[in-house]
A = this chain, B = another copy of it.
Amino acid sequence: MRSWAKVFVAVPDKAGKIMKKHFNLIMDIISSLATSVIAILIPLEMVIPVDPGYVATIYIITTVILMVDFLRNIKLYREQKESHATQNILTKSQTPTILAVDFLGSLPIGLITGSPLAGIIQLVKIGRIAQYQTYWNRQTVRWSDYQRLGFFMFWIALITHWLACGWLGLHTYTGNSDSLTLYIRSLYWSVVTLTTVGYGDIVPSGNLETLYSMMVMIVGVGVYGYVIGNVAHILASRDPAKLAFMNNMEQLKAFVRYRDLPLELQNKIRDYYAYLWQKRMGHTETEFLEGLPKSLREDVERYLKRRILDKIPLFKGASDAFLDAIAFRLQPVLATPGDFIIREHEEGNEMYIIIKGRLKGYKSARPDQVFYLEDGNFFGEIALIHKEPRTANIQAVTYCDLYILERETFEFVLEQYPEIAERIRQTAEARIKGDG
C-alpha cells in the first residue's frame, strides 16, 4: 500500500521535472525564433514599405511570446537567487541586466512610437540567441558540430540580411520594381560583395553608398576568411577515426615509397589499419582517459568492461560486486590473424577469454586435428588448474579481442565464486578427456 502510494507521488513529480526541463528548452527555442523574426523584420520595415496589418500581427505575436519569456526569466532569476546555487559555465545565469535586455526586447517600441528606427532597440534581445548558442553548445556532446554549423549559417544569413537592408535604404534603383525584387537585388548585392565575387552590375553612386559598400567589403574579407577557416576546421575534425586511418595510410605510403615492401605485407598492414578503424580504436583514447581524474576514469572503465563481461556466458549469474571487482583485473589484448596465443609445451600463467574473434587449436603432433574457439569461449585454463605446460597450440584465425586473466585473478575467481570455478573445471576436464 505504502510503496504504491510512493509511486503515486513519485511518478508525477518526476514527470513534472522532465516536463519543466523540456518546457524551458521549448520556451528558449520559441523565444529565439520570435527574436529572429523581429531581427529580420525591424530593419526590413525601415527600408521598404511592408503591409502594416501583417507587421502589427507579427509584433503582437512576438510581444506576447517575449513577454511570457520575460516573466519566465524573472521566475528563473528568483529561483536561482533563492537556491544560492553555485553558478558555473554550464548554467544559463539570469542577472538583472539580462532581465532588462529581455524586457526591452519584448516591447514593440517601433510600433508604439510609430518610428521604425526606435524599434532597433528591440534588437538587443539578439544577444540572448548568442547566449543560448553558447549554452547549448556546451550542453551537447554528440551533435555539437552540426549545431555550430547551423548557428554559423544563421549568423551569416542575418548579417547578410542586415547589410542588404542597409543597401536598400541607401541605394536608388532605376526603373519601377516591386519591393520583393528590390529586396532580392539588395540581398544579391550583399552576397556578391561579401563573397568578393563582385560582378559590378550594382555599384554605389553617391558618397554615402560608396562608404557603405567599402565597409561591407572590409567586413567581407574577414567574414570570408572566417567562413573558410571554420567550415574547413569543422569538416576536418568530423571523423577522428577516419582521420587516424588516413594518417596511418599516409605513414604506410611514405614507408613503402622508401623501403619498397612487398604487396602482401602492404595489404596486411592496410588491413590492420582498417581493422583499427572499424573497431574505432585510436591512440587518442588513452590520452582522453588520462585527462580525467581517477574517480571518473574508473567509472568510464568499469562501464566499458562491464558491458563486455555481462555478455560472457562464463560469468552468467555472477553478482555485480564480483564483476566490478574482476573488471579491473582483466587486461585486454589484440591478436592479429596468424598470431600464436599459446604454444604447446610452453609455461603458462594466464587463461584467455575471447570477446570477439575466431581461433584454432591443435597439437603439434597432430596438426590436422583442428578445433575452433569463438566469442565467449575461454582457453588456457588447464595449465592454471593442473600447473602443467600448455597442452595445445592456439592460433588466431581472424582479428581477436581477448581478455587475459592472470593466475592471481584466476585464483581470486576460484576462491570467491565456486560456481564459476566449477564451470571452468568442468570445461578443463572435458577438454583433457576429449583430448585423451
Contact = CB atoms under 8 A, between A and B. Distances in A.
A5 interface: no
Interface in A218-236: 218, 220-222, 224-229, 231-232, 235
Contacts of A265: 299-300, 303
A142 B398 contact: no
A285 B251 CA distance: 8
Interface in A248-293: 248-259, 261-262, 265-266, 268-272, 274-275, 277-278, 280-285, 287-288, 291-293
A184 B211 contact: yes
A339 interface: yes
A231 B224 CA distance: 12
A262 B306 CA distance: 13
Interface stretch (A188-196, A324-332, A345-353, A402-410): A188-196
A268 to B, nearest CB: 6
A304 B210 contact: no
Interface in A182-215: 184-185, 187-188, 191-193, 195-201, 203-204, 207, 210-211, 213-214
A1 interface: no
A197 to B, nearest CB: 4
Contacts of A252: 141, 288
Nearest to A333: B293
A207 B227 contact: no
A197 B193 contact: yes
A288 B251 contact: yes
A258 B286 CA distance: 13
Given A144-B249, A228-B225, A265-B299, A285 B192 contact: no
A56 interface: no
28 contacts: A86-B398, A88-B275, A88-B278, A89-B245, A89-B277, A89-B278, A90-B271, A138-B245, A188-B213, A191-B214, A192-B217, A195-B218, A195-B220, A195-B221, A196-B197, A197-B198, A197-B220, A198-B198, A199-B200, A200-B200, A222-B231, A228-B229, A241-B258, A251-B291, A254-B288, A255-B288, A272-B292, A293-B334
Interface of A: 86, 88-90, 138-139, 141-142, 144-145, 180-181, 184-185, 187-188, 191-193, 195-201, 203-204, 207, 210-211, 213-214, 217-218, 220-222, 224-229, 231-232, 235, 237, 240-241, 245, 248-259, 261-262, 265-266, 268-272, 274-275, 277-278, 280-285, 287-288, 291-293, 295-296, 299-300, 303-304, 334, 336, 338-339, 398
